[in-house]
Amino acid sequence: MMERCWCLCLLVLCLFMVSCEQDKGCPEEEPELELAPIMNLLKNGACEEWTGRSPLIGKKNYLVGWSLKENYGSVSQESEIVYEGISSARLSSPEAGITASISQKVEVSPGHTLRIRFHYYIEEACTGTKPRMYCYFREGGSDNIPNDVLATFYDDATWGIIRGGGYGLSSFPLEYGEWQLFDYTIQVPAIAHYFVFEIHSYAGTMMYIDDCWVVDINMYNQ
């Protein structure tokens, strides 16, 4: 009886292998989308282009293509702690009440899927509020889609992709002294036409950002 069971199992396995070889019904994994600079909706996502110079710290302090608000020297070019290329963005708030942030608005297509990807590095130790993503969707202009409206599109865990540190996280995990990857996808709400990519760091935290991407996956997975 046992031998018969083994024979049947082997027969089923052989038939499955033959079917796979003939490409009949075998599941295939989709290859991961290989990123190319032309796909990036962000301008200067690699954090390589800088201009201006802060008299306070003696470093270039304007990240080309990005909105830095009034940063009081809290955002500057970094040339030593870099993920790739020759520069990263150093975010360091000088005092409580001043948020170090980088922000950029891009046009998106309703219903499409965005891939949000970047690398971040946190220096030990974070003694203040933990750094986080703080992104928005907009219908148009400068008014953000309200939270109660977005709540109808996303569950709490998905919300953490653009307002926190990933699925279900309210901030970035505090893993010090090495580059960490943030890489998630999220669907654009049906009423949204713009996405604001934004990262915040607060007093008591020194962090670096590099290799930033926002990619419309639907445009390249045809």
Whether 70 shows a pLDDT value over 60: the answer reads yes
Alpha helices in the chain (DSSP H): 2-21, 147-150, 156-162
Query: For the CA atoms of 95, 96, 97, 103, what is the dihedral angle to 10 degrees?
Result: 70
Which tens digit of pLDDT belongs to each residue from 111-127? 999 999 999 999 988 88
Whether 32 shows a pLDDT value over 80: the answer reads no
What residues does 76 pair with on adjacent strands?
90
* Answer CATH for 37-219 from 1.10.150.20, 3.30.565.10, 2.60.40.10, 2.60.120.260: 2.60.120.260
Whether 140 shows a pLDDT value over 70: the answer reads yes
d(Cα 12, Cα 6) in Å, to the nearest integer? 10
The average confidence (pLDDT) of the chain is 84
Let me know how long the chain is: 222
Domain ranges in the chain? 37-219
How much is the pLDDT for 222? 65
d(Cα 106, Cα 185) in Å, to the nearest integer? 16
In this structure, are residues 46 and 84 in contact, taking their beta carbons and an 8 Å threshold? yes
Where does the pLDDT of residue 58 fall: very low under 50, low under 70, confident under 90, or very high at 90 and above? low
In this structure, are residues 209 and 122 in contact, taking their beta carbons and an 8 Å threshold? no
Where does the pLDDT of residue 163 fall: very low under 50, low under 70, confident under 90, or very high at 90 and above? very high
Longest dimension (CA), the chain: 86
Q: What angle do CA 67, 68, 70 make, to 5 degrees?
A: 130
Average pLDDT over residues 138-161: 92
How much is the pLDDT for 101? 93
Average pLDDT over residues 180-197: 97
Q: Please count the other Cβ atoms lying within 10 Å of the Cβ belonging to residue 64.
A: 13
How much is the pLDDT for 117? 97
